[in-house]
Amino acid sequence: MSNKITATIEFYFKGKQFAPNTTIDLDDIMQQHGKIPDLHPMLATLNNIDSYSYEYEMMLGEEVHFSDAEGSATAFVNDGHFDFTGFEQNWHDQQLFNTLAPMIKQQLDIDNIDQHPKFKSIILAAYQAGKDK
């Protein structure tokens, strides 16, 4: 299942309410950038708000509200807030296990690493130790 989330910024400009929003494919974003960039410019562009406008400046002063999460992203949304760091770490860990899954299946006959939390933890620790060197 893909990871998606709807991002909305609500603000007022010249007495008028604006609520630019978009559904973000988090997997695409993570594959392109390795992390989730600032969403204000993306929301502005996708909603035809010029980055040199007063409207854009008003938008920058407001927080992004998150809703309608899909996939593992649902675990990282709480009351309209999104845990970027937690999602990014989880996403990278999942990519690691997607890469290792055929080897784990072949060598250890394990189909679902989540059923072996201690082993999963050891693999993550070993991977992190290798990255830190």
Condensed to tens digits (0 to 9), the pLDDT of residues 19-31 reads: 999 999 999 999 9
Average pLDDT of the segment spanning 43-59: 94
Q: Do residue 42 and residue 61 come from a single domain?
A: yes
Q: What is the chain's alpha carbon radius of gyration, rounded to the nearest angstrom?
A: 19
**How many other β-carbons are positioned within 10 Å of the β-carbon of residue 3?**
22
Residues 59-101 pLDDT 10s: 999 999 999 999 999 999 999 999 999 999 999 988 888 888 8
Q: Do residue 37 and residue 67 come from a single domain?
A: yes
120, amino acid identity: K
Q: Which residues contact 75 (CB under 8 A, 6 or more apart)?
A: 86, 90
Residue 75 sits in which domain range? 1-82
Rank 75-79, 109-113, 121-125 by mean pLDDT and report only the highest.
75-79
pTM for this entry: 0.83
Q: Do residue 19 and residue 63 come from a single domain?
A: yes
Q: Do residue 95 and residue 123 come from a single domain?
A: yes
Residue 7 token pair:
């991002």
Average pLDDT of the segment spanning 96-123: 84
Q: Do residue 69 and residue 94 come from a single domain?
A: no
Average pLDDT of the segment spanning 35-47: 94
